[in-house]
Chains A and B, each alone.
Chain A
Amino acid sequence: MTFELQKCLSKLWKPLLVLLAINAVVCLWVTRDDPRVLPEDSVTDFFALYAENAERMDEEYRLGVSRTRQDSRYAPEGFSDFELFREVYSRIEYIEDYRGELQKIIDDAGLRAAGADGYQRRVYENVISLYARAKDGVVLGLEYTRGWTSYFGYRAGDFLLLILLVYLSSTLFTHEKTCGFLPLLRSVKNGRTRTAAAKICVLTVVTAAVFLLFTAETWLLFLFRVGFSSPDNGIQIFGALKLCPYVMTVGQFFLLSLAVRLCAFLGFSLAAALVSVSVYNPVAEFVAGSAMVGISLLLYLSRPLDPDGLLSNVGLLSSLEVIPLFARYRAVNFFGYPVSYPTVLTLVFVPALLVLPPAIILRYNVGSGVLPDSWLNRIDGITGAFREFLERTLPRARHKPSLSLFTAETYKTLFLRHALLFAAILFAAKLFLSAAAYKPPVSYSDAVYKEYMQILAGEATEEKRLYLTEERRRISEILESFEELQKRYIDGDMPAEEYQKVLSDYNTALGRDSVLSRVEDRLIYIDTQKEEGREAWFVYDTGWNKLFFQDFDWTLFFALLVPFCGVFASEYNGTSSSFGFAGILRTTKNGRRKTLTDKYLSVMCLSAVWIALWTAADLFFLLRAYELPVPDAPLCSLESTEGFAHALTLRQYGVLMLAARSLLWIAFAVLVCSLSEVLKKRMSVLSAAAIFALVPELLVYFGLTAFRGRTFVSLTQVTPTLVSGTAAPLCLGICAVAAVSAYAAGKSWGK
């Protein structure tokens, strides 16, 4: 075990230090002073003052406290006394309301329980007993609650730790396989079960240790930067946990959260290790690890829309956040009996932590060390058939192997490790997702809107204004005259056929009324733009908005990342040729500069083809479902792009947007290719590229707003950053990063 531990630490300490440093920077940024918020120390001092002179200050507050920021008595410069007093009294009100709110819940549940039976009745009974206990047992103290909310809400460290654990789990078990030592190791006395058990012990110890390191670092930084309020106060003092049904203090909750989070991280690293010993393939491990994190992220992100859902509350990321689990009583129906979410989580964690280690040992001992042969045969069969097809269709390729380095590199990139098949699967997924995203609209309102906008399309001329006025008059007239016309029909003064026409007009006018208001609002917008010196036209913008505001393309991301991560790395291992072929290759005539150039050219051309295919898929489905009319209209005709500073037409902007996006993706492909040379290992390339592209976006989601609109994800969505005016420097920045990395790769390859 000591040997395994030393081996592990020797590989881990560098990435660990880097990630700890990143975590520290993020913590420092999150805990920075905000000049708009009352300084923590002033509020703490004021609470102390209030504690000593409560009666006098109550009286002072009752008589009225200054709201101006100039003549404040207690507040620091730039703030009013009223703001300080509100800090105190908002907490007093919160505490005063607490038991009343619980009593309301208890009463409500009691009334509902009377009319319910079975599972629902048991849920209500649990609510009553838990909240009655909380009502009697929770002690809420008046204090300035500081530190804890930010600390519990801080999530960036979790992602950094997850990345580290994916790396740790995979390297721990795959190292022997990678260097071909695994069969030998298995043949020795302690080479199977004991080795696997030692590796699992190391994994567990190191996971726990790095978790505690990250926790301690984060906690200490929060302590020194913000400080923490009393750990003896009831956890319900925090709004997010006001309805927590359990009686516990902040300190107890902190320890509980440590335990839950430790179990979650342990479960994750063991699951990642199981994947590792099952596939022994860095790419597959990366994809599986990403999938685990991705699925739990999706579940986590769905929580705002489904806050009570089981999966969105007990998924990996939700478990790591802990607060949702204890925020309120939630239960799942287990054969008619309610099981609370913390219990469900325990029922998941405990068996998982017990079952995973034996499963890893079993797999390590008896597994073939690769994907099951049947799978490989099938995959090989598919790619082999495709290769044969290409050779049949292009007979020259079979009889006369190309001497072009570019062709050879392209061929190698496409067929190495089934990259083409992988890309094809992703493209199929892309087609499916695009078809779902761009379904033809069947909404009546949109159809009417489209009709109006087609009539009005173009500049807001006097004729069009007249048309709108006339249409408004016509609709109002139809709606207003209906009763009179109906009376004429009832009185026999109107034939049935004519009345049917009246009814038809009435129904149409009724449906168009609100849509016409929307079109009239657009005219107001056009006039506002004109006043500000910009020109805007009438455009049916549903399709344009769909085109300009696309989500991040995950399929393209993986289609570029996975095939290109081995462009150089494959030359450093034995997969494509003999082990360490790079050394031999570089001694040949064209092995340095020409090979390097052709590899990059190949990657750029292939990524351009990929991007073209992906864009074509989007455009095909978009144009099938929506129209993109009046392409010569000014861009600010769309209210959603109002802030865009440059005078472009929709068509020009569309081209610019697609070009900018293509450029960004090509830069990303170049970056991946460069990382492949610099890091020399697929797993490292995948991790580094994923950190570069995705982690900043996750950090934004979890509060690091400094990255908002500056992440790779938001940049490839283009329009939001173009509208905010930050796109050009950021695009250039990404391209510069790609260029510098390519330069570094060139240097490294040329050594």
Chain B
Amino acid sequence: MKKRTPGMLPLLIGLALLLCGCGSGQAFIEYPEQNPQGNESGQIENYVYAPVEDKSYPYNAISGPEQLKYDGGSLYFFNGNPSPHEKTGATLMAFDLASGTILPVCPDPLCSHDNPGCPFYGFDTSYYAANGSIYYRRGYHYLVYNAEGILIDAVDHADLVRYDRSKDKLTVYEDYGDDLSYSAYNSQLYFNGFQYYYDYVYDPDTDRHYFHICRRDVDSGKVAVLGGDLNEDAVYERFLFALGSRIYATDGKQLFSVDPDWNDRRALFEGDFSGKVLCDGSEIFFERTVSGRIVLAKTGLDGGGVTELGIECSRWVLTDHYIYYLSADPYFSGGTELTGGTVYRCDHDGGRIEKICDLNDDGSDKYLSSLCAVDNYIYCFFYEYRNGEQISYRSKLLRIDASTGEMTYYGIR
């Protein structure tokens, strides 16, 4: 019987012999490998961090397109240009300010972030960070190649998700299937476990979409449409911030508060609230544009009169103790006019103005594209110019020590 059994053993031996002789006759060259290259994410060397407790009030509405966002000790930004059509490898990064580590929010150290297995693949540049979670939309046109590198499939997919960093858990709120088109008003408010947002809500009775304020329970994902009947556009207001158990909103002129269900509307007072409005937990700070310049003012929650702060600027952010702002005066790089070349801060009354630094002190002219202030430090991205020519955009994150004006750059790739 043995003789008739197919020759598995000879076959195996034959294969092994062939394997031994399969080389092309050329032994490979032992190549001396170089030392590891330095990389720009990971632990920042010689990182010095001397914080002075000074945060922003956490219940202001968040602007989605703002590139830099602070939440719970981390500064978030994306390290490239996410694109729904290209595998750019861009992903959301978290800068742990206390430890000085910059790492992708994606928890997988082996992930290349260039395929749908990464929770941040197809990441929309408009995103929200609140209470340890990131809320964002994903949309991608993913091309699938086989082992030979031949295109075999293309997948369109879009959804709206939450990524809970503490649990490394991705929750899909809305699955848009292959519909990559998207319209949304990029401002959201996170308060009491709810996400307040604007959306075009479909009414099957009238077969129409209506613009409404909506509220989603971030844990259950359950959505409630707020602000009146479904069959008419109901958004004539812009939510600004939440305080106590009330949400404060404006129609641009009138400031009013509502309960979390968007009922019990109480008019507070009138003013010009058409621009940026922020709260520090006790007072409301707002801007008006006069002759192309932003002028800052504040008022109490009871509407007890508007105080002009006497601050003119091109951009500003609010923390518990300071208003950080960029100068309104233009300056020139070659023939190109730029604004916001100097960083200042003042107290909440517009007094104690301190010049922190000139952004072009270190030889390159900068136009800031994003600004965030936390614990006595300012973080920003910038367009860099030399002789009027733009030479880079967001290749580095700039940190400015508000006490000393010292500028430190961190590579973000």
| Chain A interface residues (CB < 8 Å from chain B) | 1-2, 5-6, 44, 47-48, 51, 54, 92, 95-100, 103-105, 107-109, 111-112, 120, 124, 127, 139-144, 146-147, 149-150, 152-153, 155, 205-206, 208-209, 212-213, 215-216, 219-220, 223, 227-233, 240, 243, 251, 254-255, 258, 301, 304-309, 321, 323, 328-329, 441-449, 483, 486-487, 489-490, 496, 499-500, 503-504, 507-508, 510-511, 514-515, 518, 700-703, 705
Interface status of B304 (Cβ within 8 A of chain A): no
Q: Whose C-beta in chain B lies nearest to the C-beta of A40? A: B24
Is the pair A142, B28 in contact by a Cβ cutoff of 8 Å?
A: yes
Q: Can you name 21 A-B residue pairings with CB atoms under 8 Å?
A: A2-B1, A5-B4, A44-B24, A99-B36, A105-B110, A108-B103, A111-B103, A140-B31, A155-B147, A229-B24, A230-B27, A304-B116, A443-B181, A444-B202, A445-B179, A449-B181, A489-B252, A496-B251, A504-B236, A508-B211, A514-B181
Contact digits for B297-315, partner A, Cβ 8 Å, 1 yes 0 no = 0000000000000000000
Which chain A residue shows the least CB distance to B3?
A: A2
Rounded to whole angstroms, the CA-CA distance of A5 and B12 in the bound complex is 20
Contact A240 B117 (CB under 8 A): no
Contact residues, B231-272 vs A (CB, 8 A): 233, 235-236, 251-253, 270-272
On chain B, the residues within 8 Å of A109 by CB distance are: 109
Q: Known: A104-B42, A216-B14, A305-B117. Is A444-B209 also a contact (CB below 8 A)?
A: yes
Does B11 sit at the interface, judged by CB under 8 A? yes
Are A112 and B107 in contact, CB atoms less than 8 angstroms apart? yes
Question: Which residues from chain B contact A490 at a C-beta distance below 8 Å?
Answer: 252-253, 270-274
Bound complex: CA of A365 vs CA of B265, how far in Å?
79
Q: Which of B15-23, B317-325, B343-351 contacts A (4 or more CB under 8 A)?
A: B15-23
A-chain residues with CB within 8 Å of residue B24 when the two chains form the complex: 44, 144, 146, 227-230
A47 to B108, CA, bound (A): 37
Q: Is B46's CB within 8 Å of the partner chain A?
A: no
In the complex with contacts A228-B23, A499-B251, A139-B30 CB distance below 8 A: yes
Cα of A258 to Cα of B152 in the assembled complex, Å: 27
Contact (Cβ within 8 A) B18 A219: yes
Q: Distance (Å) between the CB of B91 and the closest chain A CB? A: 13
User: In the assembly, what is the distance between CA of A143 and CA of B108, in Å?
Assistant: 31
CA distance A12 to B199 in the complex (A): 64
B47 at the interface (CB under 8 A from A): no
Contact indicator A487/B274 (Cβ below 8 Å): yes
8 Å CB contact of B26 from A51, A206, A213, A254: A51
Task: Please state if A111 and B23 are interface contacts (CB–CB under 8 Å).
Answer: no
Chain B residues with CB under 8 Å of A255's CB are 16, 19
Chain A nearest Cβ from B291, distance in angstroms:
13
Contacts of B404 in A (CB 8 A): none
Beta-carbon contact of A149 and B147 below 8 Å:
yes
Cα-based distance from A104 to B40 in the complex (angstroms)? 10
Q: Which 4 A-B pairs have the closest CB atoms?
A: A141-B28, A153-B147, A445-B181, A143-B28
Residues on B with beta carbons closer than 8 Å to the beta carbon of A146 = 24
B39 touches A100 (CB 8 A): yes
Q: Does B168 contact A (CB under 8 A)?
A: yes
Q: How far is the CA of A254 from the CA of B12 in the complex (A)?
A: 12
Q: Considering the chains assembled together, what is the distance between the CA atoms of A718 and B272 in angstroms? A: 61
Report which of B155, B211, B253 forms a contact with A507, defined as CB distance below 8 A.
Answer: B211
B39: A residues at CB distance < 8 A: 100, 104, 107
For A305, the chain B residues whose CB sits under 8 A away are 115-117, 142, 155, 157
Complex CA gap A237/B157 in Å reads 33
Give the Cβ gap from B29 to chain A, nearest Cβ, in Å: 4
B337 at the interface (CB under 8 A from A): no
Chain B residues with CB under 8 Å of A500's CB are 236
Give the docked Cα–Cα distance between A108 and B148 (Å).
31
Task: Report yes or no: A230 in contact with B101, Cβ–Cβ below 8 A.
Answer: no
Contacts of A503 in B (CB 8 A): 235-236, 251
Known interface pairs A127-B110, A209-B11, A328-B110. Does A97 touch B37 (Cβ–Cβ under 8 Å)? yes
Is A446 a contact of B274 with CB atoms below 8 Å? no
* A200–chain B nearest beta-carbon distance, Å: 15
Among A44, A104, A321, A441, max chain B CB count under 10 A is at: A104
CB distance from A394 to the nearest CB of B (A): 43
Name the contact of A701 in the complex, choosing from B15, B26, B146 (C-beta under 8 A).
Answer: B146
A670 to chain B minimum Cβ distance, whole angstroms, is: 30
* Docked-complex contact B31 and A511, CB < 8 angstroms: no
* Nearest CB of A to B176, in Å: 7
- Contact assessment for A124 and B109 in the assembled complex, using a CB-CB cutoff below 8 Å: yes
In the assembled complex, which residues on chain B have CB atoms less than 8 Å from the CB atom of A321? 147
Q: In the complex, given contacts A231-B20, A514-B183, what are 4 additional A-B residue pairs having Cβ atoms less than 8 angstroms apart?
A: A51-B26, A208-B8, A229-B24, A307-B115
Interface residues of B, count at CB 8 A: 76
Bound complex: CA A473 to CA B147 (Å): 50
- Which of these, B23, B142, B181, B209, contacts A304 with CB under 8 Å? B142
Give the A-B contact count at a CB cut-off of 8 A. Answer: 232
Q: Would you call the interface of chain B mostly helix, strand, loop, or mixed?
A: loop
Within 8 A of A (CB), among B209-239: 209, 211, 233, 235-236
**B residues near A, CB below 8 A?**
1, 4-8, 11-12, 14-16, 18-20, 22-24, 26-31, 33-37, 39, 41-43, 99, 101, 103, 107-110, 115-117, 142, 144, 146-148, 150, 152-153, 155, 157, 168, 176, 179, 181-183, 185, 200, 202, 208-209, 211, 233, 235-236, 251-253, 270-274, 289
Chain A, interface SS category: helix
By beta carbon, the residue of chain B nearest A92 is B31
A444/B109 in contact, CB under 8 A? no
Residues A229 and B28 in contact in the complex (CB < 8 Å), given A490-B252, A508-B211: yes
Chain A: CB-nearest residue to B155: A305
Nearest-CB distance from A230 to chain B (Å)? 5
Q: Which A residues are CB-close (under 8 A) to B8?
A: 205, 208-209, 212
CA distance A441 to B4 in the complex (A): 65
Known: A109-B109, A120-B168, A510-B183. A48 touches B148 (CB 8 A): no
Question: Once bound together, how far apart are the Cα atoms of A443 and B184, in whole Å?
Answer: 12
How far is B112's CA from A243's CA once the two chains are assembled, in angstroms?
A: 11
Find chain B residues with CB under 8 A from A143 CB: 26-29
With A108-B42, A111-B42, A209-B11: A703-B31 Cβ-Cβ less than 8 Å: no
Give Cα A99–Cα B1 distance, bound, in whole angstroms. 54
Contact flag A308-B146 (CB < 8 Å), given A230-B23, A444-B209: no
**Is B29 touching A223 in the complex (CB atoms < 8 A)?**
no
Task: Tell me, rounded to whole Å, the shortest Cβ–Cβ distance linking A545 to chain B.
Answer: 11
Which residues of A have CB within 8 Å of B202? 442, 444, 447
B147 touching A444, Cβ below 8 Å: no
**Residue of A92, A143, A306 with most partner-chain B CB within 10 A:** A143
Contact, CB under 8 Å: A223 / B148: no
Cα separation A301 to B157 with both chains bound (whole Å): 16
A700 / chain B contacts, CB cutoff of 8 Å: 152
Contact A153 B146 (CB under 8 A): yes
Cα separation A233 to B30 with both chains bound (whole Å): 9
Most chain-A Cβ atoms within 10 A of its Cβ — which of B101, B142, B273?
B101
Cβ–Cβ < 8 Å partners of A443 in chain B: 176, 179, 181
Partner of B19, one of A99, A231, A514: A231
Task: Determine the distance from Cα of A144 to Cα of B31 in the docked complex, in whole angstroms.
Answer: 13
A619, B309: Cα distance in complex, Å = 66
What residues of B have a CB within 8 angstroms of the CB of A212 in the complex? 8, 11-12, 15
Check B33 against A140 for contact (C-beta < 8 Å): yes
Query: Smallest CB-CB separation from B167: which chain A residue?
Result: A120
Residue pair A486, B252 in contact (C-beta under 8 Å): yes
Contact partner of A307 (CB less than 8 A), chosen from B117, B233, B273, is B117
Tell whether, in the assembled complex, residue A51 and residue B29 are in contact, meaning their CB atoms are under 8 Å apart.
yes
Nearest Cβ on chain A to B196's Cβ, whole angstroms: 16
Most buried by A among B28, B33, B42, B168: B28
Smallest beta-carbon distance A552→chain B, Å: 13
Q: How far is the CB of B73 from chain A (nearest CB, A)?
A: 11
A511 touches B200 (CB 8 A): yes
The verdict on A232 contacting B28 (CB below 8 Å), with A127-B109, A489-B253 known, is: yes
Which residue of chain A has its CB nearest to the CB of B180?
Answer: A445
Which of the residues A54, A209, A483 comes within 8 Å of B6, measured between beta carbons?
A209
